[in-house]
Each structure stands twice: as structure tokens, then as C-alpha cells.
Chains A and B, each alone.
Chain A
Amino acid sequence: MNRSEFLNRLEKALGNMKWEQKKEVLYDFEEYFANALSDGKTEEQAAQELGNPEEIALSFFRSDEANESGFDTKATFASAIKGMVKSALNFASKSINEALKLEKVEINSSVNTELELADALLVTGCKSANVKVTRTSAPNFSGKLSGIASTDPEKLPFLSYSYAESEKKLSFSIDWQGQLAASVAGVVSIEVPESFCGLISVETVSGDLLELPAEFNSLTFKSVSGEVRSKAISLHDEILINTVSGKLNCANISCNHLNFKSVSGGLSTRLEKIGEVNFNSTSGSMNLDLPPSSGKVTFNTISGGIKLKIRNNAGIDLGFKSISGRLKTELPFVVENEKKGYGSYSFKGRLQGENLTEISGKTVSGSLKVSREE
């Protein structure tokens, strides 16, 4: 187990612990790894001597009696146990896989819904399969699952759908026919009619989100290690990304609100139009080209670094606080306040320009770089 695997498992097992506290815990372990590495140990050695992350998480809950310190003891305990059960299941599914001698089978399963209208499109249960959503000139929604499945050949996984009339919600998911160990290396492709402009919500374990149509309303993506790799995202309202290590890597984004939360995943993109960006990651970094129009950006990381690039005539109002991170820039900021203390740093200032974007953020050790587009 390496550093990021350890931190991911710990983060997961800590479940519902308050974010502020969870960050503190993750910071401690990051610091342990950093010290162990400069002591000449490898990440694997350090992880091994720390012990099992799920058990460590449990001792956080055991050593804590009350809610006064921010734990919802029952819920967190439950989620730590869930983590342990999950790793047991992972282990079990490996041996099941061997016992069943799952075969590799090519699959091609299509489903046509005959459905023309929906407000929300959900794609779930994809595990390691990638997901693609595109427009079609056909009047109805349809889906296709293709790739190589590792499965019991008698029980081929297939793509199924259901529709919740009251919420106008259409859900696609892979029906694994009860096989825990089955998996697909392939793609779930969903086609949506021209008229669709609602919510797209995708959940995977390690599958990536490969492609999205233009001009819909909002997007949510939840994954453990899956990434958003769509070249461009252009939508009207909100993007919510929640991953453990999955990144958002996208050439262009245009939306009203971008909300990114991860443990080690980072975000890299050029914003064409944006109202507000919230970036929250423990060790992931953010690389952002800001749009010419004004907006608001907030960030909160432990060790993740932030790089911001500002368009020609645009300006920013910047507030930055860190413990050991620093502001690195050659731009002519009008400094309102800068404090370099013993183990703390804060900066407040303005970069003059036509449209002002308000930027504020905190890091523990991550630095902030601000530059202007050439």
C-alpha cells in the first residue's frame, strides 16, 4: 500500500467525521509520511508500520466518547465497519473470481427506452466501466454497454433502465445478475434526444466520464478513482464533483457554479464563463485559467497547490491564508495587508483590472501561484 492508497482508505473509513476534523487527521498522517520519507523510508514501509487504516479510524471513534468533539459516533462507527466489510468483500471477490474461473466474454447490450422526455438522467452501478453521454437525432433515450466482461458466461451483465414518473427521472445501470465479482472493461454509452436539458448524474467506482453533450442544466459525478475526461463541459447551472482520487481534467468549462471535492484528486481547466468555483481537496492541486468576466473562487486544501492564470484585462481581489504555503507572483498587486508570521501567512490585495474576480482560500502547506495569460 502506498501513501495515497493509505490516505484514501483512511479518509473513507473516517466516514462522517466533520470535514475540519477529518482534514486535521489526514494532515497528521500526511506529515507522518513526509517525515518517514525524509527518514529514508519508502511509502510502503511507512504505511505498513502505521497499521491498518480502517482499524486506525475505528480507534478515533473509540477514543472519542461524545459528540462535543464533533463526531457522530454511531454513524462514523458504522461507516468504519462498512469500510472493513468492503475490504473483506474485495478480498472475497478476488477469491470468488478464482474459484468461479470467470471467463472473459465480449458483450454488446443495447436498450431502447421509447422514452422521449425526462428531467434527470442517472447512470449508476458502472463499477469500472467508462461512461459516455451524447446527443442523438432520434426522439428517445437509448443506451448501450459494450466491452469485455469478466463474468460467468451463463450470466452476462446487461444494461437496464427504470423510469420514475413522479420525478421524471430516468436511470440506467448495469445489471450484474447478482455476480459480485463480475466486471466490464468497456463503455456505457447513453444517447439523449435534442430536447433533453436536465440533470446528468453519473456514479462509478473506477470508470471515467468520457463525454458529455453540450447545453444541459447540471452535472453530478461521484467516483472513487474515476476521472472526468470530457474535452469540454458547457452547461447552464451547476457541476458537482465528488471523488477520492479522481481528477477533473477538461480543456474548457462553462457553467454557473463548479463545486469540486476530493481527497487527492485535482482540477485542471480553462473557464470560459463562471459564477462561482469551490475547490476542496486534501492533496489535490487546482490549475485554473480564469475567465475574462467576474466571478468568485474559493479553495481549501492541505498540501494541494493552487495555480491561477488571469486573462489580459481582468483583475482580482485576493485573500489567501496558509500555514507554510506562500503567494508566488510577479504581478503588481496593490497590497492591503500581508503578514508573514512564525508558521503563518496571510495576504490581502488587489490586482487592478476591468472585471474583478473575488478569490479567497486557505491551505496548510500548498502554495498559490498567480500569473497573467501571455
Chain B
Amino acid sequence: MNSQFRKGVLEMCILALIARKDCYGYEIIQEISLKMDITKGTVYPLLSRLKSDELFENYIRESTEGPARKYYRITEKGRNHVTTMIDDYLAFNEKVLQIIKA
């Protein structure tokens, strides 16, 4: 798959996950790699960029069973962004399906 396209989809999935509930890095990576074949380490650069775009913010919470964890929480800007992204994607997907299934 084209890597730009792949990256866009991966970005959308990350945002969608975090929009549903606050997550920590390892959790995000596990969730996504259950469904998609990704190089796990490259999720962090994406997270870092989405954060610098202010689509989400971080806070640290201690966990009972392990190390302190850095959580990602979606911002208002991030929520708007991902909603538009998903709408666009679904509309696009519908057009594609119309063409290939015609």
C-alpha cells in the first residue's frame, strides 16, 4: 500500500482510538497492531507530530501494576479534526466501492 495513504489511515485510527478513551502509548500500539501490520516504533513519531499539532495532550498517571504511564487525551481541535477525517474517508470509500463494484 502507498505509504502516504497508509500513514494517513494510521493517523486517523490513532485519533479515533484516543477520541474514544484516553490511552497510553503501549496500549495504542497494541490495539492497532492487533488489526494492522505496523512497525510499532513508528507510531511514536506520529504521536509526537499529532501532539505538536495540538490534536491531543499528555498527562502522566501512575499505574498499580507497572511503571507510570503517559496518557494521551484528545483536544477539541483533535476531535473536530478526526470527525472531518472520518467523514471524508467514508465518503471517499463509498465512491471507491461504487467504482470497483460497478
- Which of A's residues lie within 8 Å of B, judged by CB? 24-25, 27-29, 31-32, 34-36, 38-39, 49-53, 55-56, 59-60, 62-64, 68-69, 323-324, 342-344, 364-365
Contacts and interface: CB of A to CB of B under 8 A. Distances in A.
B48 A60 contact: yes
Contacts of B42: 51, 55-56, 59
Given A63-B49, A343-B68, A53 B62 contact: no
B44 A56 contact: yes
B48 A63 contact: yes
Contact of B68 (A24, A56, A365): A365
B87 interface: no
Contacts of A53: 41
Main secondary structure of the interface of A (DSSP, over half): helix
Interface of B: 24-26, 29, 33, 39-42, 44-49, 52, 59-62, 65-70
Contacts of B26: 31-32, 35-36, 39
A268 B52 CA distance: 37
A31 B40 contact: no
A17 to B, nearest CB: 10
A28 B45 contact: no
Nearest to A303: B67
B39 A51 contact: yes
B60 A343 contact: yes
25 contacts: A28-B25, A28-B47, A31-B67, A32-B25, A32-B29, A32-B40, A34-B67, A35-B26, A50-B39, A51-B39, A53-B41, A56-B41, A59-B42, A60-B45, A60-B48, A62-B45, A63-B48, A64-B45, A64-B49, A323-B60, A324-B68, A342-B61, A343-B61, A343-B68, A344-B60
